[in-house]
Structure 1
Amino acid sequence: MSNLELNRSAPLLEVQHLRKTFGGRGGKPGPIVAVDDISFSLEPGECLAVVGESGSGKSTLARTLLRLVDADSGRVLYHGKDLLKVTHSEMQRQRRFLQMVFQDPYASLHPRRNVAQLISEPWEVHDGIVEKSSRKDRIEALLAEVNLPEHFISYYPNQMSGGQRQRVAIARALALEPKILILDEPVSALDVSVQAQVIKVLMSLQERRGLAYIFISHDLPLVRLVAHKVAVMNRGQFVETGATEEIFSNPRHEYTKSLLASSPSAGEFENAQRT
């Protein structure tokens, strides 16, 4: 877990009674409740892990927070402003401060754009953040932050490994100086040793920048290492929330107990992280 001392003065993000349903699929009757009355808060510098099995609603929650899918009801307050009520143009401006890193780095990076184009793309959407004359230097600085050498600036996605691509995706998310990163299974597609490299980058960035993370994962040993608090999600609901060590050492809900019982030891990841 990060040793960053958290700022307890005010939540950076407050989510209140968020709900999202979908119509029936595959001939099944609807609605399907993907996110069911979810509430939580996130403070500057804090990492909240959302854990649960596939289909529990974790990724839908992430996308609903950013209005990549529309919520049915609830509130998402960033610095007190309800993101569910702002205009689409205002939401685009607010997304500068809430960035997402997806599970598959190859799918999230345009294959015909090199690293310089990929990282500078957000500056085309959010004009005026970095002057064109300064962009090369800024890209090289971002690459250094994710432990990639400056010559990667000319690389294309197919010239990089999965871990390198994911670090480019992180650098692109950082280009807009966000306050929150929503990390949707950011290392699950990578080998354990490569996972450790990417996690080291994320933890270092959090320390230096004071970033807040919403870390979505089904990997409980990894969550125990990186998160300050944990929300256990099942069938669209948070069935248990609490400080990370409390959840792991004294789980109360039967679903949490079953997740922990079926989880592998953290030893393999911890050993990889030390290398």
Structure 2
Amino acid sequence: MPRTEHDTRPEGAADGAAPPLLRVENLHRHFVTGPPRNRKVLRAVDGVTFDVRAGECLAVVGESGSGKSTLARALMRLVEPTGGSVYYKGRDLLALSGREMREERRNIQMVFQDPYASLHPRRTVGDVVREAWRVHKDVVPKAQQEDRVAALLRQVGLPEAYASLYPSRLSGGERQRVAIARALALRPELLVLDEPVSALDVSIQAQVVHVLMKLHAELGLAYIFISHDLNLVRLVADRVAVMYMGRVVETGTAEELYGHPAHPYTQALLSASPGRATAVDLDDVLPGAVAGEASGPAGTVGCPYRTRCPKARDICATERPELGTGAHPSACHFPAG
């Protein structure tokens, strides 16, 4: 059957193909801020929908404060979503008990942004990697754990001897490799990577990205790769979701999004990407205030990007554009053709 304008499947997904590994539907995470008499609602994640197929890398991009990291934590239930659904292989993770969710996390692991904060300073590298096996005792028998730790360290490009070292002896890049090895210890099918190289020196970032790309190819892992670095995303992503103020405003394959960005916000991000021949400062292409950043009902009226958008018209202040459907949708009343 040919694709229709209402077909939201990723390009290349054939009829009868396996269902998504992960399906996120209308996910919300709101925070109440301010004094009791003047409460405001911060919509950190505001109705996000997407899916990830087995072996696919979906990148989530946007400015700092766009809701990317809160989205990652809500998926893992490290913060409880305000509403919506998260289905892993058809099972709603938000309906699970705490014990059931701990069991399910063996299939979905997370690598955090800061390797200095994510590793226990008083545990050796070997203890850090073995940590999950104390909870999930059936994954690796105790007699095999030492060999398995050594294999995991080799897999991320570290010597076996590092198992006896403490994190304080390692560089930032080495610590992040340990964090990746820990995430692989339970043999997950999906990794949520929250800015995995942004805290590292530029010279080290390429090495860690190479490890991640190698593991992606060798193990067939699915990735949700969160980043603000659009040049990096272009190297690793199959599809890209652009977030602005808690909402996805454009999605598409990496080729579509980088070749023909439809949303003005995506165009601004790309124009400010380092390394582009015509790169500009992001503050120059995104002037003005952010509309409805922490508000009540006003936060849901109109397009939140309108105060910074050169294409804004009267309709943008009264009607919020929805993401729509199709292979390359954008939440804009006046998308680029």
For the criterion TM > 0.5, the same-fold answer is yes
> Displacement, 1:9?
2.3
1:224 aligns with 234
> Displacement, 1:127?
1.6
Pairing 1:248–2:252 present: no
Flag the structure with more relative contact order, 1 or 2, with Cα contacts below 8 A and sequence separation at least 6: 1
Question: Which aligned segments of 4 or more residues in structure 1 are displaced greater than 4 angstroms?
Answer: 5-8, 25-28
> Displacement, 1:193?
2.0
Alignment partners' CA distance in 1, 2:13 and 2:169: 39
Pairing 1:23–2:38 present: no
**Counterpart residue type for residue 116 of structure 2:** Y
Alignment partners' CA distance in 2, 1:21 and 1:62: 14
> Displacement, 1:126?
1.3
Alignment partners' CA distance in 2, 1:266 and 1:13: 34
| Bigger CA radius of gyration | 2
1:114 to 1:204, Cα distance in 2 relative to 1, 3 A:
same
Pairing 1:59–2:64 present: no
> Displacement, 1:265?
1.7
1:150 aligns with 160
Pairing 1:210–2:234 present: no
- Is the contact between residue 111 and residue 158 of structure 1 (CA under 8 Å) also seen in structure 2? yes
1:181 aligns with 191
Output the TM-score relative to the length of structure 2: 0.76
1:26 to 1:120, Cα distance in 2 relative to 1, 3 A:
farther
Alignment partners' CA distance in 2, 1:129 and 1:262: 45
Alignment partners' CA distance in 2, 1:155 and 1:22: 40
Pairing 1:124–2:134 present: yes
Structure 1 residue matching 2:95: 3-state secondary structure: coil
Where does structure 2 lack aligned partners over 5 or more consecutive residues?
A: 1-11, 278-337
2:21 aligns with 12
Where does structure 1 lack aligned partners over 5 or more consecutive residues?
A: 268-275
**Counterpart residue type for residue 54 of structure 1:** S
1:219 to 1:25, Cα distance in 2 relative to 1, 3 A:
farther
- Is the contact between residue 24 and residue 31 of structure 1 (CA under 8 Å) also seen in structure 2? yes
Equivalent residue pairs, number: 263
Alignment partners' CA distance in 2, 1:54 and 1:108: 20
- Is the contact between residue 104 and residue 186 of structure 1 (CA under 8 Å) also seen in structure 2? yes
1:73 aligns with 83
- Is the contact between residue 114 and residue 156 of structure 1 (CA under 8 Å) also seen in structure 2? yes
Alignment partners' CA distance in 2, 1:129 and 1:260: 43
Root-mean-square deviation over aligned CA pairs:
1.7
Structure 1 residue matching 2:168: 3-state secondary structure: helix
Alignment partners' CA distance in 2, 1:266 and 1:98: 35
> Displacement, 1:245?
1.3
> Displacement, 1:10?
2.0
**Counterpart residue type for residue 239 of structure 2:** K
1:104 aligns with 114
1:168 aligns with 178
